[in-house]
Every structure is written in C-alpha cells, then in structure tokens.
Amino acid sequence: MTIEYTTRFAIDPFATAAMSTDELRHNFHIGNLFEPGRINLTYTHYDRMIVGGAVPTDGPLKLETIKPVGTKSFLERRELVVVNIGGPGDVAVGDGAHALGTRDMLYVGLGEEVAFTSQSAAAPAKFYFLSAPAHRKYPTRLITLDNAKRLDLGSQETSNERSIFQFTSTIETCQIVVGMTQLAKGSVWNTMPAHVHDRRMEAYLYFDLADNARVFHFMGEPSETRHIVMANDEAVLSPGWSIHSGCGTSNYAFIWAMAGDNVDYTDVDAVAIGDMR
C-alpha cells in the first residue's frame, strides 16, 4: 500500500499533566511523515483534522480515502490545504494540475480528486497537507509567499524576529486556517508570549532544521506546561486548551494549521509570561 494512517484520540489536560515523555510523544508528536513513494496520514479527533505527508518518487500518489473518514472519496466531505517543502511538484485536482514550487500552497475544495507528483525523482517534492471537514465547496486556489498576507513581528533583542505568512487569509475556506512562520537568523523563539484558543485546535510542522538541531516545543495548560523535543520535518498536535510555542537551537521555519469554530486568526486568549508555570 502507498497510504498508511494512524489515529490520535483527544486527550484532556488532566491526563496530559501526568504523562511521561514517551506518553506525550505517543499522543501528540507526529514523525515519519515524509517517506519516499508513500502517503502517511494521522487522523486526529481534534476537530477531525488530518495531518499528512506525501513524497512522490516513481509516479503519482493518489490521495485515496481511509476508513476513519467514512466516505467513498477522501474529499467527499472535506477540504484540503497542501504546502510543498521539497523540490518542484504537481498536484492534480480533477482534470487539471497545479505546479507547486518550494513553499507554495494549494487550497482544494470539497469533493475533488487529488494526486501528487514530483517533477524530478532526484529532488522529489515533499507535500505537507492538512484536511478538515467542510460544509460547502470553495474553488481551488494556488497561493505563493508573494500572494500571502505577511506580518513581520518580534525583534533581535527578544530572539523572536520572524515573518508570518498567512496563506488562507486571502481566500475563503470552511474552517481550515494555514500559514507559515520563518524565523530570522539568530532568532529562536516562536509564539512567545503564548496564547490558547479553545475554539480551535492547531498543528505545527517544524522544518528547515539541520540534522543536529532541535526545537523544544512547549505545550500544556499555561499553569502546567510540558515540552516535546522536535527534529526536522516533524509535526506536533496542540489541543485547544494547550499553549503552542517553541524555542530552537537555531532558526527554523514552521507551518501552522488550525481547524475549529471560526477562521479568525486574532481570536486568541493571551497568556502573560509571568503566569506560566
């Protein structure tokens, strides 16, 4: 089979507070997303978000349905956002195809058939994608970094100078919100001061890390924080009740994705640094 999937069930903050390192990683960490010639999926019970990776090598990889979705086709009742973090590739949507360079994003609406292809086997594409339930169909749209809404935040003094690219802020979606954050050279902190948003879950994919570099991803309730050590091309799930922040051993990039009750990026509950434990 070219598609494999795992399932992650929703965990409450009380259970999380008592977890060991291995238990935290088993429930929230997602590794092995990008295997040559395969599609790997994680079906979550956090707003039914699916986190996936596809690395086409010898030919197209079709995004076929899996049992937890419960429909005849993968996007029969879902929408999809794809971000390419590898070499040039193509995403076939219905009878058409869209070329995605590195860091290009494609939104695919309800009901479409999708397949992934690399333009070069020597430098294959690495498609990272997120899917959430949809209630209506919006048109397929290609968004590059130049088309995304950009916010420049932070400073060198606080080690968090970064550029935020809001991919989905310029298009309509049912509930999925996706963007990318790039930290400047010499900056290592993201999303600090932290926040929570109980209306939406979130997933992070950390990338552009050297093999010997790591990001310490912080999660948990503000008064009961935990951490997970992340390597390159690894993802982590953040329930709505949890903070989501990270500090790396060098600068890096990450793709953030949310699904839930609304698509308002600013709908967050801020956490003062002095209140964290």
Q: Known binding site for Zn(2+): residues?
A: 195, 197, 202, 244
Q: Known binding site: residues?
A: 195, 197, 202, 244
- Which of 231, 229, 236 lies closest to 255, judged by CA? 236
Q: Are 217 and 209 in contact (CB under 8 A)?
A: no
Burial of 219 (C-beta count, 10 Å sphere; 0-12/13-18/19+) = buried
* Helix H or strand E segment including 26: helix 21-28
User: How many CA atoms within 13 Å lie on the side-chain side of 212?
Assistant: 0
- Which of 205, 211, 202, 146 lies closest to 181, judged by CA? 205
CA–CA separation, 55 vs 149, rounded Å? Answer: 28
- Which of 152, 138, 36 lies closest to 87, judged by CA? 36
Q: Are 197 and 234 in contact (CB under 8 A)?
A: no
What 3-state DSSP class applies to 60? coil
